[in-house]
Amino acid sequence: MTTTSDTRPASGPVDSAAVEPRTLTYSEAVREAMAQAMAADDRVFLFGEDVGTYGGAFGVSGDLVHRFGTERVRDTPISELGIVGAAVGAGLAGMRPIVEIQFSDFTAQAMDQIANQAAKIHFMLGGAATVPMVLRAPGGSGTGAAAQHSQSLEAWFAHVPGLKVVMPSTAADAKGLLLSAIDDPNPVIVLEHKLLYKQSGPVPEEPVRVPLGETAVRRTGTDVTIVATGVMVSRALEAAERLAADGVSAGVLDPRTLRPLDDRTIVDSVAATGRALLVQEAPKTGGFMSEIAARIVESPAFGRLQAPVSRLCGLDAPIPYAPQLEQAAVPQVDDIVTKAGELVRRW
Amino acid sequence: MTLTTDPESARHALTTMWTIRRFEEAVDDMFARGLMHGTMHLSIGQEAVPTGACMALSEGDYITSTHRGHGHCIAKGAKLDAMMAELLAKETGYCRGRGGSMHIADVATGNLGANGIVAGGVPIAAGAGLAVRMRGGSEVVVSFFGDGAVNEGAWHEGVNLAAIWDLPVVFVCENNRYGMSMSVDRAFNVDTLAERAHGYGIPGVTVDGNDPQAVHDAVADAVQRARSGGGPSFVEALTYRWKGHSKSDKNLYRTREEIESWRERDPIAAFEAAVTGGGATAGAATAPALSASDVEECRTLARDRVREAIRTANAAPDADAATLTDAVYAPAGEPIAGGARA
C-alpha cells in the first residue's frame, strides 16, 4: 500500500529530498519517461503511426524524433496488426519496443498479436522466451470523437492472462508507471487518457519508478471507499471534496494497475468504511469494476459491509457524438456525489 | 551448396528429411493408438522445404514457424527428445507441457516458435528482423508459413513492414495446395502466390518444394540478399501434404488420385535417386554423392534417433500441474533505464 503522496518513492536509493518536484503535463511526463529510457538503454525504441516528425496524434512523442533519430522514433504505416506483431518479434529478439497505438480503439485491429501472441508466448513456451514490450494507447471519451475513438477497453486486456494493464491517472504516475512498464519483461498495456494529457502535476525529474501492482490511496475517508480509474480518479476526488462539505467522509483509491491488481489495499479500506462505490468510465456489463466488486465480496470485508457494493459506470452503449449525449454516457462528478451520498445515508 | 553432389550435404539433407518423416510417422502412430493427446498437424510430404531452407541458414539466424511446424524445428536443429516429450505432455518437453505441438520453440537454435494462428509469425519475423537491423547484427530471419497465410491481413502487414524497412527477412511459403480444405485455386486469383511479392516491391520466386536443392538455392539467394542489406524476399515452394489437415480431416475435398499422384513425387525418394546417381537429374560426369549403403545409414540413423527420442520422452516425468501458472508472467529483472524503483 502506498500513501497519498504517490509521487514520492517509498524507498530506494533516490533520496526524496533530492527529487525536486516540478510540474509537467501528463503527456510531457510520458515523453520524459520514454526519453530517459531511450537515453539509458539502446534497446528501447518507440514506433507507431505519426510518432516521428508529426510528434504523435496527441503530441505525446513531440520532439523525440529530433533527439533520438528516425530509427528509434520510427514512423510506421497505418498497420496496427503489423506493428504490434513487429514489437512482439523485436521483443523476442532482444529489443525493448514501445508501440504507440493512436487510439486504444485501434487495438481491435491488432488483437491477435496482443492476446494470442504477446500475452501467451512466454507461457506457451514454458517460460523459455519473454516478450518485453509496452503498448501505449489513449482511451476514454470526452473529445467528441464518437464511438470508434472513445472507448475504455481496459477489461478486454485485463481478462487476458499474460498481459499487464496499467491506467495512470496523474502526471507522476504516467511517468513512473511507464518506466516500470518498460523495465518489465512482460507485455504491458498502458492505457493513457486523452482528457488527462494536458493535466499538470508534480513529476520527479529523476527516472523514479512507480511499481506495478500498488493501489494508491488518493484520499482517506471513513464513511465510504470510492475506487476509480483513469479520468474518474480526479472526478472522484472532486466528489469527495463536495461530500466532505456535506459531512460525508469519502476515501478515494486508484488501483493504477489492473493486472497485477493490489486488491489488498481496496479490501482493507472497504473493511474499514463498510461501503464501496466503484467508478469506471467503461460500460458496466463485464467491466473491470465488476472484478473489484467480486474481490471485495469474496474477502473478509464482506462481513463488514454496511451497504451493497455499488458500481457507477458508463452506460451499456457506444460513446455518442453529441456533447450532451457524450456527457450523459459516462459518470460525472454530480453522479458520484449523489451515489456516494445515497450509499452513506441510506445504509 | 550442391546437395546432390556434395556427400556431406547430401547426407545431412537426407538424414534431416528422413528424421522429419519418421518423427511424423511416429506421432501419427502414437496418436492413432491413443498414446498421444490433443491434436497435431503432420508435414509428411513437405520435408524438402524446411530441410532445403534451413541448410541455407547459419548459426544465430532465426526462424518463425507454423502449426505444421515439426519439420521446421527438426531442420533448425531442435532436440528430438524435448520435442517428443512436449507432445507426450512431459515436464521435459520444450514447453513443459504448456504448448504442445503448435507451440514448440527452441530459442537456443533461433527458432522463435511455431504458431497456432495462421500468419501469426509473419509480423513477428519482421520484428525480429527489425531487432537485428537496429542492433547492427548480420542475422537473417526465415518466416515459414502456408498458402493460407498469404490471404491473412497479418501476412500483408508483416511483409510490407519488412519491405519498406529493408529488413533481413526471407518469407518462405509452403504452398501445399490447401488451407485446411480450401484449395489455392479457389482461394487466390493469381497464378502463383509469388506474384504477391511484387505488390510489396520485393523479389518473389516459385520453386519445386519437393526438391530440397531448388528450395535451398532460392532461399540461399534470398538469405544472401537479406544479409547484405538487400531486404526481404519471398520464396514460394510448391509441395503437398500427404496426410489430412489434422485428426478431424476425412479428405472429402480432394481425390484419392490426387493424393496418389503427389505420393509418386515423394521428395525423399526423388532425392535418394538423385544422390545415388539414379535420378534423371544426375549429371553424367559426376560421381554419385552417396552409395546405397550410405542412404541406408541415413535412414537407420533417422529411425534410431526418433526411437531414442520416444524412449527418453516416455521415461520423463509428466508435466506438473502444481507449477501450472509459473510461467504466465516472467519474473522482473533489473531496471533497465537507470534510476531507482520507488
Q: Show which of residues 172-231 on chain A sit within 8 Å of chain B, judged by CB atoms.
A: 176, 179-180, 182-186, 206-211
CA distance B112 to A127: 13
**What backbone torsions phi and psi does residue B207 show, to the nearest 5 degrees?**
-130, 165
Strand partners, A73: A46
User: Which residues of A have a catalytic role annotated?
Assistant: 80, 149
Give A40→chain B minimum CA distance, Å.
5
Question: Taking CB atoms and an 8 Å cutoff, what residues of chain B touch A9?
Answer: 340-342
The CA distance from A148 to the nearest CA of chain B, in Å, is 20
Q: Give A-chain residues touching B342 at CB under 8 angstroms.
A: 8-12, 14, 176, 208-211
Burial A301-320 (b: 16+ CB within 10 A, else e): beeebebebbbbbbeeeebb
Please give the Cα distance from B101 to B107 (Å, whole number).
Answer: 16
Write out chain A residues lying below 8 Å of B128, CB-based: 89-90, 92-93
Contact A113 B120 (CB under 8 A): yes
Q: Are A223 and A154 in contact (CB under 8 A)?
A: no
Q: Shortest CB distance from A126 goes to which of B95, B124, B333?
A: B95
Q: What percent of chain A shows pLDDT beyond 70?
A: 94
Instruction: Determine the straight-line distance between the first and last CA of chain B, rounded to whole angstroms.
Output: 57
Which residues does chain A have within 8 Å of residue B106's beta carbon, measured at their own beta carbons?
A: 128
Give A168's contacts in chain B (Cβ within 8 Å): none
Count interface pairs A-B at CB distance under 8 A. Answer: 215
Kindly report the three-state secondary structure assignment for every residue of A109-159: HHHHHHHHHHCCHHHHCCCCCCCCEEEEEEECCCCCCCCCCCCCCHHHHHC
Best A70, A81, A208 residue to mutate vs chain B (most B CBs within 10 Å): A81
Taking CB atoms and an 8 Å limit, are A164 and B329 in contact across chains? Answer: yes
Tell me the C-alpha distance between B79 and A343, whole Å: 63
Neighbours of B189 (CB within 10 A): 7
- Point out the residue among A9, A162, A186 whose CB comes nearest to the CB of B342: A9
In angstroms, what separates the C-alpha of B200 from chain A's closest C-alpha? 13
Cα–Cα distance between A335 and A345 in angstroms, integer? 15
Which domains does chain B possess?
7-321 (3.40.50.970)
Q: Are A311 and A344 in contact (CB under 8 A)?
A: no
CB contact under 8 A, A95 and B341: no
| Residue among A77, A85, A116 minimizing CB distance to B123 | A85
Residue type, B335: P
Alpha helix ranges (H) inside chain A: 26-40, 64-72, 80-92, 111, 121-124, 154-158, 171-183, 232-245, 263-273, 288-297, 323-329, 333-346
Task: Give dist(CA B103, CA B65) in Å, integer.
Answer: 9
Inspect the interface and report whether the beta carbons of A126 and B93 lie closer than 8 Å: yes
DSSP letter string, B43-92: -TT-THHHHHHHTT--TT-EEE--SS-HHHHHHHT--HHHHHHHHTTBTT
Asked if the Cβ–Cβ distance from B123 to A84 is below 8 Å, we say yes
What is the per-residue pLDDT for A11?
Answer: 45
pLDDT of chain B, 342 residues: tens digit per residue: 899 999 999 999 999 999 999 999 999 999 999 999 998 899 999 999 999 999 999 999 999 999 999 999 999 999 999 999 999 999 999 999 999 999 998 888 899 999 999 999 999 999 999 999 999 999 999 999 999 999 999 999 999 999 999 999 999 999 999 999 999 999 999 999 999 999 999 999 999 999 999 999 999 999 999 999 999 999 999 999 999 998 888 899 999 999 999 999 999 999 999 999 854 554 455 689 999 999 999 999 999 999 999 999 999 999 999 999 989 999 987 666 544 444
CATH number listed for the domain at residues A22-203:
3.40.50.970
Q: What is the mean pLDDT of each run of 10 residues along chain A (347 residues)?
A: 43 51 95 98 97 97 98 98 98 96 98 98 94 98 96 98 98 98 97 98 97 98 98 98 98 98 98 98 98 98 98 98 97 98 95
Cα A130 from chain centroid (whole Å): 23
Q: How many CA atoms lie within 13 A of A248 on its CB side?
A: 27
Query: What ipTM, to 2 d.p.?
Result: 0.94
Nearest CA in chain B to A83: B123
Nearest residue to A250 (alpha-carbon basis) of A174, A312, A343: A343
The interface residues of chain A toward chain B in range 32-71, judged by CB-CB distance below 8 A, are: 36-37, 39-45, 71
Helix (H) and strand (E) counts in chain A:
12, 15
Contacts of A88 in chain B (CB under 8 A): 123-124, 127
Answer whether A88 touches B (CB < 8 Å).
yes
Of B99, B141, B153, the CB nearest to A124: B99
Q: What residues does each domain of chain A span?
A: 22-203, 216-346
Domain A216-346 sits in CATH at: 3.40.50.920
d(CA B153, CA B165): 18
Measured between CA atoms, the residue of chain B closest to residue A84 is: B123
Q: Which residues of A touch B135 (CB under 8 A)?
A: 42-43, 94-95
